[in-house]
Chain A
Amino acid sequence: MKFFALIWSNLRRKKVRTALTVGSFAVALFLYGLLAAIQTAFNQGVEVAGVDRLVVRNKVSLIMPLPVSYRERMLQIPGVKTVTYATWFGGYYQDPKNFFPQFAVEKETWLKMYPEFKVPRGEWEAFLQDREGCVVGRKTAERFGWKIGDRVPLVASIFGGVWEFNIRGIYDGTRSEDDTTQFWFRSDYLEERRTWGKGMVGWYVVQVADPNEAASVAEAIDSRFANSPWETSAESEKAFAAGFVKQVGNIQLLILVIGGVVFFTLLLVTGNAMAMAVRERTAELAVLKTIGFTDASVLWLVLGESMACALQGGVLGLAAAKLFTLRGDPTGGFLPVFYLSPAKMALGLALTLAVGVASGIIPALLAMRLKIVEALRRV
């Protein structure tokens, strides 16, 4: 590290070039941060999935319901600990564009199934007391400016009419990835008001006693209802969420391609800048060698310069991306979470340093192999 001052003054020699190289890194890492946040948003369901939870839906498709009576029958299956259910409401607030998910939930078991969601005890008690009560996620409550005690009308595009709910509670997630856009209300209220499809629920969530037995329990559930008019398809919550991600398309590939193009371009830009820096300083490097700098230290000098650019740019870009994600979802409610995790940031920094090394290595090797006599003779 004794060459630190030398690297630093080399960087300051051509301020514009250094600024541009650092800027390129910052831009690339900013983009990386955005893509990582988007990827997290799409995979959110997979990442927060509980290992001990199964989702049971109608075998034909998710839009087909299942009878409410299945709950008791599932509870008899060995290995099943808790069973809860929910129904998709599909309403909207004021404008069809204001999308957020609404579920009619089984009030006794829903919260027990999802320990990651926190509702103050008093608020939950109030929800249990009020047939028209509902509990809303923090994000949705903030989006529409809802407070506890508000009465909100939702247009029910599936069930018809306008339904009014009293907000009795606001829930929070325990992790940054938890989805706090949901809206829960009581299934007994839905049952009372719906004009068709009574006695049916959208899907079941089953908690298994031992996560290692999840697969066999899922199989037992499906075979229990095989050949009935309402066949089931049970799978782990993770597989269920992953299925959804796959349906949206190959997001992973798209992000990898864009990221790859960006980093390749970055490699070219910085590689070129470093090569030019070395070419300009040929005579100077020869002088350094003449006064006793070893080949290795010349190598490190050049490499150190490109890595210093990378590090500064990387930190700058990641910080900007983090700030951008803190401002919230840019698509206006389409992404359930928009969050850049520390792990993804660390990976980004590692990638930057790797590009810093890769772009500096060829000029550095050239500098190392420089023959003093030839270099001094040049120009």
Chain B
Amino acid sequence: MSPIPLIYNVRSVRARWRGNLVAVLGIAGVVAVFVAMLSMARGFQLTLVDSGSPSNAIVMRGGATTEMESVVTREQIQVIAGAPGVAHDEEGHPLVSGEVFVVAAFHHRASDSDALAPVRGVSEQALKVHRGVRIVSGRFLRPGLAELVAGKSASTMYSGFGLGDTPSFGGRTWRVVGIMDSGGSAFDSEVWADQPVLSQTYKRPEDLFSSVTVRLTSPAALGDFKRALASDPRLTVQADRETDYYAKQSRAVSTMIRVLGFLVASVMGIGAVFGAFNTMYSSVAARAREIATLRALGFGGASVVLSWMVEALFIALIGGLLGCIVVLPVNGLTTSTLNWQSFSQIAFAFRVTPDLLGKGLLFALVMGFVGGLLPALRAARMPVASALREL
């Protein structure tokens, strides 16, 4: 005999929508929270990974794990600039950007309190090395002046950092002369200043830098470049591919979000399976006569199990789809958190990607499968004669 037709399940779900709605909403809620947490972790990770370029290398003092802990002197930068693999611009200058990385307390709009913002002291070389960063309005800084270029997230995150504003920090009044866009990467959360001016403000020796970012002739040139630095007795530095450095920076926070997300979602998932169980079990009890009729018509036990599983998976799928739809608006939502590695605020957007939605749907189907299996077996095992007599 052929299996029970699908339309039976579709109609059944529609006819009993009240009870099924509970299961659908339960699963939708779990899927929404699950996908939202994952998209948060994903957004954070992508923001940092996108900040680096595979053909850039970041050089810091040996042993330093972040730019803030690192010190590189001007003499060392000159040595690094002469290493093999370093790219040059049209005029023959090496594409090497010595940078100072500090944090400053600015007024954060969303929390209405002071938050630590990353401030980077740069020279004109910075734009040539960080190819992803573009000035979208205003202009770049002029050397020697107390001018700032704010990242587009920084300029909206902190009050007083719009184009033309004159924020003051470090006992000095600055002027925001430009807004930069790096396509959603970490530089969008930064404020750039002229390096000698910033060093003076922070009372650092002017020829002391935090890190050096180097443009290489090609991504493959990193090996030679690293070997040259390691064998030079004048240097005690380490070089990392920029993308690797930023990936490492994102690890702590994105792992924490993911661990907590999985923990919360799995506990919620168990709860939703209970809900689905409850609905399906009651539905077996309520539909005892109907099932017995199907059996009496000649459908086998396996057919009944299959039909019930189809119904459970169908309900789960609706729930999963609903959850995905509900969570879609968080895509692109920007928020910020403290990145422990750089000890400063970093803005990032939730990224609801198709693969995360796929994971959400899969999760919903797993819940439907687990929640539907036992009731389905019970339905199939019901003795036909007594069930027909029930009620």
Interface residues of A (CB under 8 A from B): 16-17, 20-21, 23-24, 27-28, 30-31, 34-35, 38, 59-64, 90, 96, 155, 157-158, 160, 227, 229, 231, 233, 242-244, 246-250, 258, 261-262, 264-266, 268-269, 271-273, 276, 330-331, 334, 379
Chain A residues whose C-beta falls within 8 Å of the C-beta of B270 in the assembled complex: 27
Query: Quick one: closest B residue to A230, CB to CB?
Result: B203
Smallest CB–CB gap between A19 and chain B, Å? 9
- CB contacts (< 8 Å) of B201 on chain A: these are 60
Also in contact, A272 and B278, with CB within 8 A (given A61-B116, A265-B271):
yes
Residues of A within 8 A of B115 (CB): 243, 246-247
Task: Known A-B contacts: A34-B264, A243-B115. Give 20 more (CB < 8 A).
Answer: A16-B281, A21-B274, A27-B267, A27-B268, A34-B263, A60-B105, A61-B103, A64-B202, A227-B171, A233-B114, A246-B111, A247-B115, A250-B335, A262-B29, A264-B29, A269-B22, A269-B275, A272-B19, A273-B282, A330-B263
Residues of A within 8 A of B278 (CB): 17, 20-21, 24, 269, 272-273
Please give the distance in Å from B59's CB to the nearest CB on chain A.
Answer: 16
Task: Tell me whether A63 and B281 are in contact (CB under 8 A).
Answer: no
B113 touches A246 (CB 8 A): yes
Which single residue of chain B is at the shortest CB-CB distance from A227?
A: B171
Contacts of B230 in A (CB 8 A): none
**Which residues on the A side are within 8 Å of B336 (C-beta)?**
249
In the docked arrangement, what's the CA distance between A25 and B272, Å? 11
Docked CA distance A247–B32 (Å): 25
Closest 10 CB pairs between A and B? Answer: A246-B111, A27-B271, A269-B275, A247-B338, A249-B337, A272-B22, A24-B274, A20-B278, A157-B69, A31-B267
Closest to B30 in A: A265
For A244, the chain B residues whose CB sits under 8 A away are: 338
Q: A31-B264, A63-B102 are in contact. Are A331 and B259 (CB under 8 A)?
A: yes
A20 in contact with B274 (CB, 8 Å): yes
List B contacts of A35 (CB < 8 A).
264
Query: In the complex, what distance in Å separates the CA atom of A273 from the CA atom of B21?
Result: 13
A-B CB pair tally, cutoff 8 Å: 145
- Can you pick out 11 interface pairs between chain A and chain B where the beta carbons lie within 8 Å of each other? A31-B264, A31-B268, A31-B271, A229-B203, A233-B105, A246-B108, A261-B29, A265-B29, A268-B21, A331-B260, A334-B256
| Separation of A101 and B232 alpha carbons in the complex (Å) | 34
User: Within the assembled complex, what's the spacing in Å between the Cα atoms of A330 and B335?
Assistant: 25
Q: Looking at the complex, which one of A17, A30, A63 makes contact with B343 (CB distance below 8 Å)?
A: A63
Q: Chain A residues near B104 (CB, 8 Å)?
A: 60-61
A158–B275 CB distance below 8 A: no
* A247 partner residues in chain B, CB cutoff 8 A: 108, 111, 115-116, 337-338, 345
Residues on B with beta carbons closer than 8 Å to the beta carbon of A269: 22, 26, 271, 274-275, 278
* Bound-complex Cα distance A298 to B102 (A): 69
Q: Decide if A265 touches B65 in the complex (CB within 8 Å).
A: no
- Cross-chain contact B69 with A90 (CB below 8 angstroms): yes
Task: Find chain A residues with CB under 8 A from B277 CB.
Answer: 20
Question: On chain B, which size bracket covers the interface?
Answer: 35 or more
A20 touching B281 by the CB < 8 A rule? Answer: yes
Q: Which of A35, A246, A272 neighbours the largest number of chain B CB atoms within 10 Å of its CB?
A: A272
Among A96, A231, A269, A271, the most chain B Cβ lie within 10 Å of the Cβ of A269
- Interface of chain A, main secondary structure: helix
Contacts of A250 in B (CB 8 A): 110-111, 335
**Interface status of B250 (Cβ within 8 A of chain A):** no
B102 and A160 contacting across the interface, CB-CB below 8 Å: no
Assembly CA distance A231 to B391 (angstroms): 84
Tell me the bound Cα distance from A276 to B282 in angstroms. Answer: 8
Say how far B63's CB is from chain A's closest CB, in angstroms: 6
Q: Which of A21, A24, A261 interacts with B32 by CB under 8 Å?
A: A261
Chain B contacts of A31 at CB under 8 A?
Answer: 264, 267-268, 271
Most buried by B among A90, A227, A233, A247: A247
Q: Is the CB of A334 within 8 A of B29?
A: no
Q: Restricting to B276-291, which residues have a CB under 8 Å from any CB of A?
A: 277-279, 281-282, 286
Q: Is B229 an interface residue (CB 8 A)?
A: no
| B260 & A268 in contact (Cβ 8 Å cutoff) | no
**Is the CB–CB distance between B281 and A96 below 8 Å?**
no
Chain B residues, Cβ within 8 Å of A20: 274, 277-278, 281
With known contacts A24-B274, A248-B337, A269-B274, A60–B268 Cβ distance under 8 A: no
Q: Which of A23, A61, A334 contacts B102 (CB 8 A)?
A: A61
**Which residues from chain A contact B332 at a C-beta distance below 8 Å?**
none
Chain A residue contacts of B68, Cβ below 8 A: 63
Please measure, in the bound complex, the distance between the C-alpha atom of A337 and the C-alpha atom of B282, giving whole angstroms: 43
Of listed B21, B61, B279, B345, residue having the most chain A CB within 10 A = B279
Per a CB cutoff under 8 Å, which of A64, A158, A229, A276 touches B69?
A: A158
Q: Does B183 contact A (CB under 8 A)?
A: no
| A243–B274 CB distance below 8 A | no
Query: Distance (Å) between the CB of B189 and the closest chain A CB?
Result: 13
- The answer, yes or no, to whether B252 is at the interface (CB within 8 Å) is yes
Bound-complex Cα distance A158 to B108 (A) = 27
In the complex, are the beta carbons of B259 and A272 less than 8 A apart? Answer: no
Complex: how many Å from CA A27 to CA B273? 11
Bound CA–CA A364/B204 (angstroms): 73
Contacts of A27 in B (CB 8 A): 267-268, 270-271, 274
A27, A90, A157, A265: which has the most chain B beta carbons within 10 Å? A265
- Chain A residues with CB under 8 Å of B391's CB are 379
Q: Considering only CB atoms, which chain B residue lies closest to A35 in the complex? A: B264
B197-231 interface with A by 8 A CB criterion: 201-203
B143 interface hit (Cβ, 8 Å): no
Complex Cα spacing A1 to B56, Å: 75
Name B271's contact: one of A17, A233, A266, A271 (CB within 8 Å): A266
In-complex Cβ contact of A265 among B26, B111, B170 (8 A): B26
Task: Name the CB-closest residue of A to B265.
Answer: A258
Interface readout for B246-260 with A: 1 if CB under 8 Å, 0 if not?
000000100010011
Which chain B residues (104-124) contact chain A, with CB distance < 8 Å? 104-105, 108, 110-111, 113-116
Contact B279 A272 (CB under 8 A): yes
Interface string of B23-60 (1 = CB under 8 A from A): 00110011011000000000000000000000000000
Asked if B64 is at the interface (CB within 8 A of a chain A CB), the reply is yes
Give the complex CA separation of A266 and B260 in angstroms: 21
Chain A residues within an 8 Å CB radius of B271: 24, 27-28, 31, 262, 265-266, 269
Q: CB of B169 within 8 A of chain A?
A: yes
Residue of A nearest to B272 (CB): A265
A331 touches B256 (CB 8 A): yes
